[in-house]
Amino acid sequence: MGKRWSCKATGENLLAQAKEKVTALNERGVEPHLAVVLVGEDPASKVYVSNKIRTCESLGIKSTFHKLEADTDTDSLLSVVDELNGDNAVHGILVQLPLPKQVDESRIIAAINPDKDVDGFHPVNVGRLSLGEPGLFPCTPMGVIALLRDSGHGLSGKHAVVIGRSNIVGKPMAQLLLKENCTVSIIHSRTQNPADLCRQADIVVAAVGRPGLVDAAWLKPGALVVDVGINEITDSEQARKLIPSESKKMKSFREKGRVLYGDVNYFSCLETAELVTPVPGGIGRLTIAHLMVNCVVAAELQNPST
């Protein structure tokens, strides 16, 4: 029987690292500053953005919030990005995704100064990651690597299977695992017999957006399972399939009619895995903690000490 993989200590470590760097920057007269841009009113995005701003405040990182109308077009958003690029007091720029469909997302990402790109989504940072050069790299995969390193299980030579190949999670995750000397396989929507491949993994990272896709039948006994997925379940049939009736999670579903659930069938996987990260309270926290690290790294890049 496996265990809940707590992400708390790793989150605290990342925040402590960021805090230490904030203090050092302050001593040199630099106040790290993150600008967050949100277009429209997506409720989930609003929750994430307010989590980010609250965490900045707790560490002494200045944050400014730029809220734009849902009908903003590419050119107006580009001019906001240009202004933030040109403002020497702003060290990090985060444009919350997804953007409304009339906005050309890749043009926006490419317009951000790569040294202010705290999401690590700019083509220059993607290139740096793939070449093994220093740069700013995506927060969620970096948080996962921090968790795996802290676990003390060792990464070198392990078979890691990443499920999902998005530019923001799956692909950079695979690159970072490769850099840690894992043997990496990537499963996506066209993969044949995904469960058979996944059963060969020592480490599984699920970033799919399908609640409970990975269950015990996908796992080798003793696998380490990282659940990046954040899905909202509102259907009681689906809830009954994925959540034991007597659990706290089911109680919460009955009360609120909704519950957050990962891409991993948590209760099933606990029977076969060694460790499984929870949702919520798992990788989401590490994403925000690593964003803080990226903000101070960005401030350092723009204020070299020598």
Please tell me whether residue 12 adopts helix, strand or coil conformation. helix
Q: Which residues are catalytic?
A: 52, 96, 119
The binding site for ligand GUE (CB under 6 A) comprises 47-48, 51, 94-97, 119, 139, 230, 260, 279-282, 284-285, 287-288
93 - beta bridge partners? 35, 117
User: If you ran DSSP here, which 8-state letter would residue 214 be given?
Assistant: B
166 is in an annotated binding site: yes
List the one residue from 55, 96, 140, 272 that touches ligand NDP (CB under 6 A). Answer: 140
Q: Which is nearer to ligand GUE, 198 or 279 (CB)?
A: 279
236 is in an annotated binding site: no
Interface segment toward ligand NDP; rule CB under 6 A; list 28-36, 60-68, 144-152, 160-168: 160-168
For 193, counting Cβ atoms within 10 Å of its Cβ (0-12 exposed, 13-18 middle, 19+ buried), the class is exposed
Q: With binding defined as CB under 6 A, does residue 190 bind ligand NDP?
A: yes
> Rounded to an integer, what distance in angstroms lies between the CA atom of residue 297 and that of residue 118?
9
* Choice between 28 and 107, CB closer to ligand GUE: 107
Q: How many Cβ atoms are within 10 Å of 58's Cβ, its own excluded?
A: 10
- C-beta of residue 275 within 8 angstroms of C-beta of residue 225: yes
Q: What is the closest distance, in whole angstroms, from the C-beta atom of residue 283 to ligand NDP in the complex? A: 4
**Burial (CB count within 10 angstroms: exposed 0-12, middle 13-18, buried 19+), residue 104:** middle
Q: Which stretch binds ligand NDP (CB under 6 A): 83-91, 174-182, 185-193, 270-278?
A: 185-193
Rounded CA-CA distance 68/45 in Å is 13
- Which residues sit in the known binding site for NADP(+)? 164-166, 230
Residues near ligand NDP (CB under 6 A): 140, 163-166, 168-170, 187-191, 194, 207-210, 213, 228-231, 283-284, 287
